[in-house]
Amino acid sequence: MSRLLGGTLERVCKAVLLLCLLHFLVAVILYFDVYAQHLAFFSRFSARGPALALHPAASSSTNCSRPNATAPSSGLPEAPSVRPGPTAPILPPCPDSPPGLVGRLLIEFTSPMPLERVQRENPGVLLGGRYTPPDCTPAQTVAVIIPFRHREHHLRYWLHYMHPILRRQRLRYGIYVINQMGLLKDPLSRSLSGYSLEIHGEDTFNRAKLLNVGFLEALKEDATYDCFIFSDVDLVPMDDRNLYRCGDQPRHFAIAIDKFGFRLPYAGYFGGVSGLSKAQFLRINGFPNEYWGWGGEDDDIFNRISLTGMKISRPDIRIGRYRMIKHDRDKHNEPNPQRFTKIKNTKLTMKRDGIGSVRYQVLEVSWQPLFTNITVDIGRPPSWPPWG
């Protein structure tokens, strides 16, 4: 009995001893683990201290507020002082189908339309007619080019309707009025609601050449423009789903004008409102410069597009509807008697007559609240029949 009791006590003692050894091993392992963590924690502070010492320009004692102040040199290149500040939020891309579009619009030209009213209605438009959506990043930067002379009344209506439409389309854009032979200079005049048109010559109007000038002058102001919309000042879209953007092919927007019974007058019509990317415009060498007077230049442009292997893209006829402001034909804008001959010779003339050969003189650039006015002298038609 005593021998059995002694064996049991021996086994209990061995078990207790094993438990003690196990407890000791666990304690040792935990001790070294905690020690390693403390060692890594303090080593980060010891490594950070010398790095700060290498850049005395970052010290609060260095005088960097005055441009001419000099900081003590340590013999090492000094890193610029960077102060933390608010970072601009990263905006999402603008949607392909903007959610705020209205669709069919009621367009009328009977109510008085002072520019002050248009300006009040578009508080987000910056000086020069520039606008950028505040809530998204557009894929393109659009320059809207308007050939202009003696159309102040039309311009007021155009701005009244177009700024809200372009804003709802979530476009980053600028408006450029290319004014042939005139100076906006009298701040007391009621013309254009504060700027009068002082005429220095009444030469024949040249729509396509003015559009070439607008392309070049817009790029001088902002080299990021990659889409160009060329619009007559008397045409307003009746549906804001007719998006003023550029695509893979040149775009014809004004395909159903009320003047023509809301249908294309002929298959090759490319007049009124059109759009080309920068690359497409340069590919056709811009627009012709030798169409003085009314008519022909849009057919020449159509030929240029076809001859370079591109095709015209158009919106649905129910969306591409436009209202035209009724008016008489302008003085010095009579039909061009040479237009039919020139249209037949586009293939021969397009390489030497275009954006690379345009000649003009800028008389004045005026940044108005709703548009940029660029007054130019583009010369006068030659007294002899030009080539082509």
| Catalytic-labelled residue, pool 217, 232, 239, 240 | 232
Does residue 159 contact residue 87 with C-beta atoms inside 8 Å? no
Mean pLDDT is highest, among 27-41, 58-72, 216-230, for: 216-230
| Catalytic-labelled residue, pool 48, 327, 352, 359 | 327
* The pLDDT value given to residue 76: 37
Higher pLDDT, 29 or 134: 134
DSSP 125-169: PBTTTBB--SSSB-S-EEEEEEEESS-HHHHHHHHHHHHHHHHHT
18 located within any domain = no
| Catalytic-labelled residue, pool 152, 202, 294, 377 | 294
232 as an active site residue: the answer is: yes
Higher pLDDT, 10 or 179: 179
**Which two structure tokens, joined as six digits, stand for 292?**
């003085």
Report the relative pairing of strands 141-148 and 321-324 from DSSP bridges: unpaired
Which amino acid does the sequence have at 323? R
CA 207 – CA 204 distance, rounded (Å): 10
Does residue 173 contact residue 144 with C-beta atoms inside 8 Å? yes
282 located within any domain = yes
298 as an active site residue: the answer is: yes
| Catalytic-labelled residue, pool 239, 324, 332, 350 | 324
As a dihedral over the C-alpha atoms of residue 291, residue 296, residue 301, residue 305, rounded to 10 degrees, the angle is -140
- Under the banding of pLDDT at 50, 70 and 90, the label for residue 177 is very high
Give me the phi and psi of 39, to 5 degrees please: -65, -40
**Locate tokens 């030497």: which residue?**
352
Count of CB atoms situated within 10 Å of the CB of 61? 7
Count of CB atoms situated within 10 Å of the CB of 282? 14
Q: Is the pLDDT of residue 82 over 50?
A: no
| Catalytic-labelled residue, pool 11, 108, 329, 384 | 329
352 located within any domain = yes
327 as an active site residue: the answer is: yes
As a dihedral over the C-alpha atoms of residue 350, residue 352, residue 355, residue 361, rounded to 10 degrees, the angle is -130
286 located within any domain = yes
Full domain range(s) for residue 232:
128-184+201-377
The overall pTM is greater than 0.85: no
202 as an active site residue: the answer is: no
Q: Note the pLDDT tens digit of each residue in 268-289.
A: 999 999 999 999 999 999 999 9
| Catalytic-labelled residue, pool 240, 290, 297, 300 | 297
Total of domains in the chain = 1
**Average of per-residue pLDDT across 181-197:** 45
* The pLDDT value given to residue 47: 38
For residue 231, give the CATH number of its domain.
3.90.550.10
Q: Note the pLDDT tens digit of each residue in 215-251.
A: 999 999 999 999 999 999 999 999 999 999 999 999 9
222 located within any domain = yes
238 located within any domain = yes
Distance between first and last Cα of the chain = 133
- Under the banding of pLDDT at 50, 70 and 90, the label for residue 149 is confident
Report the relative pairing of strands 141-148 and 227-231 from DSSP bridges: parallel
325 located within any domain = yes
Q: Is the pLDDT of residue 129 over 70?
A: yes
150 located within any domain = yes
| Catalytic-labelled residue, pool 239, 298, 299, 353 | 298
Higher pLDDT, 253 or 33: 253
Does residue 367 contact residue 128 with C-beta atoms inside 8 Å? yes
